[in-house]
Amino acid sequence: MNDDALTIERAAAKFIVNFSANDIDERTLATLKGLIKDQFAIQIGASQLPWSKKTREFRKPHAGRSTIVGESTKGSAVDAAYLNATYGHGFEYDDFFDNAHPGCAVVPAAFAIGEELGATLEETIVAMVAGYEVYVRIGRLGSPAVLNVGWQPHSLFGNFGAAAIAAKLYGLDEEQTFHALSIALSHASGPTEYASTGGSIKRVHAGICVRNGIESAELARAGITGPRRFLTGNRGFYRMFSQKEVGDEAREIFAPETANFLPGLSYKPYCCCAGTFPFIEAMERFKARAADIDYVDTKIQTMTDAIVGTRNAQIYNPRNIEELQYSLPAQMALAVLGEGNGYRSHRAFLEGRLDFGPNSAAMAMTQRMKLQIEPSFDGKYPYFVADVTVHFKDGSSEHYFQERAKGSPLIPYTPEEHQAKLDELTIDVIGKDRSQEIFALVDEMKPDRPAADVASLLAFDAA
């Protein structure tokens, strides 16, 4: 093929370079404000968790102008983005699109670089939306296959999203931007074994891919080049990570007339894998009869099984927080027992206040959940669904099917519900006044305001 042809790779680079404030419509902007608030709140709350503190001890920031959440010392953009992204992905509470988590990559990367460069909010959010779109558009063509193979989608797509943001804010030309994306391929990694046998490294996946993406752009700016067919080559992204063919006809996903995907994001109402969400809400319907349950038959999608189902070694005996957050039977048990599946219940487990021992009611209920893969669901539903049949001790049974869950575009948060999430993550850490100030500045979103005016409010001494 002629190297000058409009390949999907070239189309992605053109998209980034040409993206402007005119491409952010009112719906996209409204969603973006909600995403930024969601990410800021999670970064603040999760910055206080054990693995976040250990990551901060490990990462010694170089001097710079970018805010690191939870401290007055500033650091280089790449170091601040690494830490803030790790916090933003720190407790399974961040937004998702398909099977991945764009917010914890694009929000920290854009603000860290924007603050370092003295960029305005408009310049920062233009790069942020461009990065989000590149992340999701590359990801859509590979999902859910990458998850089913065993990769964490975020660890793959986040490299491209962060590279796009850095290329945009650094003002790279189309050729340099192309190579920034191409170099990002060399960083793609991140298996999902943490879902099976634990490991807090999963929390750091966001920091790793954001660092990689920023440095990919810096390498391209320095003159390093990458392979021309980084997405569609014989050893390119799609064949290596999703084991599928993607051709140049897919470049239409980067066409200027393609609507932004950002308004289709989902927020997380629960601190666990999104694959459990419809099952949580299905089981909540049976709380009044929890004591009468004999067992529960569930039909699950292949992608559900791949991340919270039978491929995980400890779904019936979660021993740590990661295994609990990625156990479908355990999350169903917590829901039907009324223990809750949100921030406070998982903090309680982490701190030893929620009993999940061998003789606990939660463990007993977990054993009653029986999983079966239903292949027909895979082609019919590109999003998570739940099919449960609850069998009672008196011999009766009741079937329930749940499509999607609270926080998705079809079952959106109310403003009050989202604010409650923001408050529970922030007020105990920084107080109500500082929390309200941060969110008010995001809602105001004055285009010519320096990004640093907003980011600097994330520097604090924990209450």
Q: In what order do the strands lie in the sheet with 385-392?
A: 369-373, 293-300, 385-392, 397-403
> Domain 8-264 carries which CATH code?
1.10.4100.10
- Cβ–Cβ under 8 Å, residues 98 and 140: yes
- Cβ–Cβ under 8 Å, residues 304 and 328: yes
At the topology level, CATH places domain 274-403 in: 60s Ribosomal Protein L30; Chain: A; (3.30.1330)
Q: What's the confidence (pLDDT) of residue 461?
A: 77
Q: State yes or no: pLDDT of 234 exceeds 50.
A: yes
Task: Give tens-digit pLDDT for 35-50.
Answer: 999 999 999 999 999 9
SS3 label, residue 170: helix
Mean predicted confidence (pLDDT) in 329-342: 98
Q: State yes or no: pLDDT of 100 exceeds 90.
A: yes
Q: 0.85 cut: is pTM over it?
A: yes
Q: State yes or no: pLDDT of 205 exceeds 60.
A: yes
Q: What's the confidence (pLDDT) of residue 1?
A: 39
Per the document, the length of the chain is 463
8-264 and 274-403, same CATH topology: no
Task: Point out which residues pair with 97 in neighbouring strands.
Answer: 100
Distance CA 362, CA 281 (A): 17
Cα end-to-end span (Å), the chain? 60
Percent of the chain scoring above 90 in pLDDT: 97
Residue type, 418: H
Percent of the chain scoring above 70 in pLDDT: 99
Distance CA 15, CA 256 (A): 7
Mean predicted confidence (pLDDT) in 332-338: 98
Token reading at 8: 């999907």
Nearest residue to 315 (alpha-carbon basis) of 306, 145, 434: 306
Distance CA 344, CA 353 (A): 10
Residues 6+ apart with CB under 8 A from 315: 308, 309, 323, 326, 327, 328, 329, 330, 371
pLDDT band at 463 (very low <50, low <70, confident <90, very high): low
Q: Give domain limits for the chain.
A: 8-264, 274-403
SS3 label, residue 448: coil
Task: Give tens-digit pLDDT for 419-442.
Answer: 999 999 999 999 999 999 999 999
pLDDT band at 5 (very low <50, low <70, confident <90, very high): confident
Task: Give tens-digit pLDDT for 53-85.
Answer: 999 999 999 999 999 999 998 999 999 999 999
Distance CA 116, CA 58 (A): 22
pLDDT band at 381 (very low <50, low <70, confident <90, very high): very high
Q: State yes or no: pLDDT of 226 exceeds 60.
A: yes
Distance CA 329, CA 370 (A): 8
Q: How many CA atoms lie within 13 A of 191 on its CB side?
A: 9
Q: Mean pLDDT score of the chain, rounded to an integer?
A: 96
Q: State yes or no: pLDDT of 109 exceeds 50.
A: yes
Helix or strand run (H / E) with residue 297: strand 293-300
Q: State yes or no: pLDDT of 458 exceeds 80.
A: yes
Q: State yes or no: pLDDT of 3 exceeds 70.
A: no
Distance CA 125, CA 410 (A): 25
Q: What's the confidence (pLDDT) of residue 36?
A: 98
